[in-house]
Structure 1
């Protein structure tokens, strides 16, 4: 059964933003030519009187798609496109509001426009941010408080999408649990749009009047000037850097521009025959449903693929502008769909934090059974309805903000300040002192020297007075070589290498692989210092040394494939390399979404054998550093919660050994006489249960990655094993 899984990246986590029911009153946004007398006042009044129930229903389709996707419901693997539907709706409605104001007055008052957006959006977001802050302190482990505090602050300032874009390619953040305000990324995109868009229209109006240009043509040219480059950039960045492409505003503006162009051209649509209106509506809904059902995390997005839901949404909206009931209205313009559409903004704000909180309390590895996830989302209707009824609608309709738009600015400052203050409170709650007493010794793996590695009497203590690194610093206890990180980020294809030690060393050893090879740098540095070796590194996060496709975020990692071609050639060509030491966490190749795990594991095993043999034939001795056991849970979060009962954080070695790259490595080693292996896992897991702490040192820093401190304590064991493996 599929399960809700909270993800930080490529998360098609798609968010949305919209205007409320009061922003959907028009059948057609009065054309901007009204200022030039091309549309009569009676036409304008008629066009603005009918409530657009179909747009409310389209909002319902969008929000239900996103909610279904977030719960992991079957057949909704592309539900993240609901956000793109909302982008088109917002572009249409906002441009329509501006169009009507210019049609009535011949100008655009920015203060009134932004005041309307402030009172519509910010109060509800402030309420949710305060709740998220409280939930963070009550439910989430304190190891996540600092990160969530930054997320709340950037959400309150509507720049969180850029923070998420940066984290999407950050090695440090690659294994982090998703933020409870991750869904604010799309709200940030739209808020940034609300700043740029009216300014663009004012510039267009100034140029149109200065050079006496046709107004509609000038407006469409201005929209194209933003939308076309954005679309091209979306295609390029989705191919080269899909993580940032998903979150940044520059790859999304074209989706809002489609809605804006439709608003400007909407007055022409009523001239279409009724049959075309029916076909438009049906085709549009079909396109959206097709994207929801067939797209998934492996779909390059946004890019060209985003045309399917965005043009679908535009077609549905266009069909509804004819002023008559269409086939699509039978689905969209119904009481239940209108009610869901009215709640869509609040529902969107609430459902994700509740899912994250539920996953923290009842989930395993940030996963919830679909049934529980659906129940949580169903419950989110309650706070969503209360927020809409008590906060969102009353403030939006308050007459004081209509009479005195300046007060909306005060409201905006207050709401933003509330969000930032919440972030500060969460940040201040993070313990500033280590959670364990300072002083004493932290020998780490050295304590095991006095006992046989598998001696059951050598079990670690259930509590310690000193812990190094402290749980709050463990995530940053990252391996370096000579003070440099020496690992390429998740995205990119450029081969980056580090070297350490004398160039004329008798032994030159290349450390190659993904982050599981990288974690051993502290030990290799000490060994190089003691033995006079030279160390070269060719490391890339989430990219083991392999010639087959590697799976990352449910798709083939093309950057890794290209990087590996260059890396493999370098290892062959550089004659100074004596030894290639490699390790990895990946145990499967990527053969496609329909291939079995066994087939993909077999493909990885066969590829590793070919790769290692090829290096041996080129005169390099290959030494395989067997991957360490992979915990079932986040160890540092467990230690933060059970510091006086560390046995609660142990996990079975048999299970941990099957979760990493060791099974594929060991299977590939069978029968390869020329390839050696190094296995120091008895000093990481000295027994049937793998502990969280040995010798006052925290073993794991994030996921299955070891702390640099513990790796350093393993140096004598690794040195001994390497010497034994070398020939």
Structure 2
């Protein structure tokens, strides 16, 4: 599953239908496990499931209010409903978002300010879960650290649910009134229309796209719906005998405990595994209707548990920004440090609850006037959005406008143009103190080839071969661009070449997957084999030797080692893999041009530039090297006569120095990848080198 985050404690009042101390105690368990998990104390590996506990509680409490309103009046007042939520949730949330904006500027890296600023704004608008879902599956967002408001995703899910569910209830209320249908059974049927499809979709998407499934609303609706079903059936649950209710409630608590210990971040989530905390929570609430003192209320209803439960919303809001800020300042937190921050979050949580949340919520002008409550909520949201936007603007770097870029291009002083047009580049024209640059450091990760936006690079989790066509479509000469992101980074210059020389480009690209039959590891885990890459590579080869046979293959790769038969990693295995594929292509009359891997600068350059505004040209330099994939590419071309190595690195790191900015263009984006702007600025150099290599292998440029 993706990086695990917390959830909003049941953002409702526990006194909706008479005080339920056991439910308040459940909220204490949920927020306690979340804090324990984020403090890194160990033991509760499934502490992230506090989110699911909260969802069930929220569905139960809110739906209880709505059902009783329909029973009283056969109607639902949507303004009153949203006013109750606005005055309950928004003041505390806005307070924390404002504080988080300050913490972001004080403690978090400058490179994150823009991303986190928009996260804060999205949190205030209760749509941040969709933003996080997109980022979780965005290859170009891989350098983004944990957001200090990542935990707001669950609040967003709840608010989106409470847009849909009251509207459905309102429609059901009309139907109930006109057709004289029983209230609770009719509502149960309406809930089933939410719960069953959402659960089915949750199971499917968790298998197909777990990173996205964790955050999106559609995979979580069923959890709130289960809590709502418990509320709808409350009149029936009260008929259970006390011993039976107690047995059910204690069993539910045991199920929750087992899940918290047995499940972990390796468990696909939510999917069907989330049924464990959801069913356990539902059983505790359901059984508690009749269990009395025989049930878990004797534990959950104690004063400390009820006090923590009442504070859980504010406590949840505060703890995560403080943990993220402390981690940024101190580095990875020890267990003692993590627990200290979690405990310290109690104070601002109590202050917020005591002096902001309750006073505003119960103030006569707010409590007695729906319009005022709605205005308060809107004001709080706008404050959060404004705070987030302010963070995106703080410390913005000077950048070039379109006119300045055009002027530099015309003077041949833009990007790689300053290195000259000779056979060897010269660093003499590099400005050691540039005043502005493009792209801005904060924009560097997004300054990537358009093929990413076009969906032309296959993700790691699939073997599907995705092909995109660029250049002069239908042209007689076809260039197949094959490999991973290190091949893809050269696309802007290659596309210019294709358009000017009358070539078609077809792309065959897969994330972190050099085009070789050799088995490599997946990502940063050296024990996880990337078998999807192997199968994808074989399928691509079959296409290139068959109906999609190109004129030439252009490739590159980020790795030089692969697993041998004995399970150890060796460069020779990767080289043999390249030689195998390239030789088969050569026999079919298709030469291969291998683009040398770009050097590893040894740091995240755009972040370094932002942190060293006055001396980044010195502080952010990188040393010359062959890149992580270069040695294998070089060795393979030495062994395959129908291949050539195209080494463009002298124009990436002129005079063997990897400058952060060349010709007012930021050179590097993620890791050792080049910005699309810089690659495009090398179009004339790339055209010359590609043409020379094609001539050497007998292809007319």
The TM-score bracket by the shorter chain reads: 0.7 to 0.9
Equivalent residues of 2:397, 2:440 under 8 A apart? no
Match of 2:544 among 545, 556, 571: 571
Secondary structure at 2:11 match in 1 = coil
User: How far apart are 1:718 and its partner, in Å?
Assistant: 8.5
The residue number in structure 1 matching 2:96 is 128
Change (3 A) 1:312 1:616: farther
Distance (Å, rounded) in 2 between the aligned partners of 1:73 and 1:627 = 42
Aligned equivalents of 1:320, 1:16: Cα separation in 2: 23
Partner in structure 1 of residue 368 of structure 2: 403
- The equivalences for 1:485-504 within 5 A come to 487-488=456-457, 490=459, 493=464, 495-501=466-472
Of 496, 501, 512, the match for 2:482: 512
The 1:294/1:564 distance shift into structure 2, 3 A limit, reads farther
How many residue pairs match? The answer is: 679
The two structures have a TM-score, normalised by structure 1, of: 0.80
In the TM superposition, what is the alpha-carbon distance from 1:463 to its structure 2 partner? 3.4
SS at match of 1:510: strand
Is residue 2:355 matched to residue 1:390?
Answer: yes
Match of residue 416, structure 1, among 371, 377, 381: 381
1:425 alignment partner in structure 2: 390
In structure 2, relative to structure 1, the CA distance for the partners of 1:195 and 1:487 (3 Å cut) is: same
Contact 1:137 1:145 in 2 (8 A): yes
Instruction: Tell me what 2:197 maps to.
Output: 229
Where 1:183 maps in the other structure, the secondary structure is: helix
- Equivalence for 2:597: 627
Q: Specify whether residues 141 and 573 from structure 1 end up closer, same or farther in structure 2 by C-alpha distance, changes over 3 A only.
A: same
| Conserved? CA contact 1:700–1:706, under 8 Å | yes
- Is the Cα–Cα contact under 8 Å of residues 479 and 503 in structure 2 kept in the other structure? yes
Map of 1:33 onto structure 2: none
Partner of 1:648: 619
Per-residue CA deviations over 1:536-559 (Å, capped at 9, x if unaligned) read 211244555466697469888898
Q: Which runs of 5+ in 2 are unaligned?
A: none
Asked if 2 retains the 8 angstrom alpha-carbon contact of 1:143 and 1:471, the reply is yes
- In structure 2, the CA distance between the partners of 1:485 and 1:250, relative to structure 1 (3 Å rule), is closer
Distance in 2 (CA, whole Å) between partners of 1:145 and 1:112 is 37
- Give 2:162's match in structure 1, choosing from 189, 194, 208: 194
Cα distance in 2 between the residues matched to 1:719 and 1:369: 54
Partner of 1:536, secondary structure, is strand
Partner residue of 1:244 out of 212, 218, 222: 212
Where structure 1 has 5 or more consecutive residues not aligned to the other structure, the ranges are 1-8, 30-47, 592-596
Q: 1 CA distance for matches of 2:436 and 2:5?
A: 40
In the alignment, what sits opposite 1:613?
580
Alignment check: 8 A CA contact 1:543 1:550 kept: no
Give the secondary structure class of the aligned counterpart of 2:441. Answer: coil
Distance 2:142 2:381 in 1: 29
1:267/1:679 CA distance change after superposition, 3 Å: farther
Q: 5 Å matches for 1:120-159?
A: 120-159=88-127
Partner residue, 2:555: 582
Separation in 2, partners of 1:290, 1:565: 44
Match of 1:377 among 342, 345, 348: 342
Q: Is the 8 A contact 2:26 2:309 kept in 1?
A: yes
CA–CA distance in structure 2, aligned partners of residues 600 and 359 of structure 1: 36
The 1:486–1:86 alpha-carbon spacing in structure 2 relative to 1, beyond 3 Å, is: closer
- Paired with 2:645 and 2:667, the residues of 1 have a C-alpha distance of 22
CA positional deviation for 1:125: 0.9
Cα distance per residue 1:510-559 (max 9 Å; x no partner): 21123222111123234446766543211244555466697469888898
Preserved contact between residue 4 and residue 48 of structure 2 (Cα < 8 Å): yes
Question: Are residues 107 and 720 of structure 1, via their aligned partners in 2, closer, same or farther at CA, if it must alter by over 3 Å?
Answer: closer
8 A contact 2:45–2:264 mirrored in 1: yes
Deviations 1:430-458 (A, max 9, x none): 648528998763453864999999x9x99
In 2, distance between residues paired with 1:313 and 1:500? 57
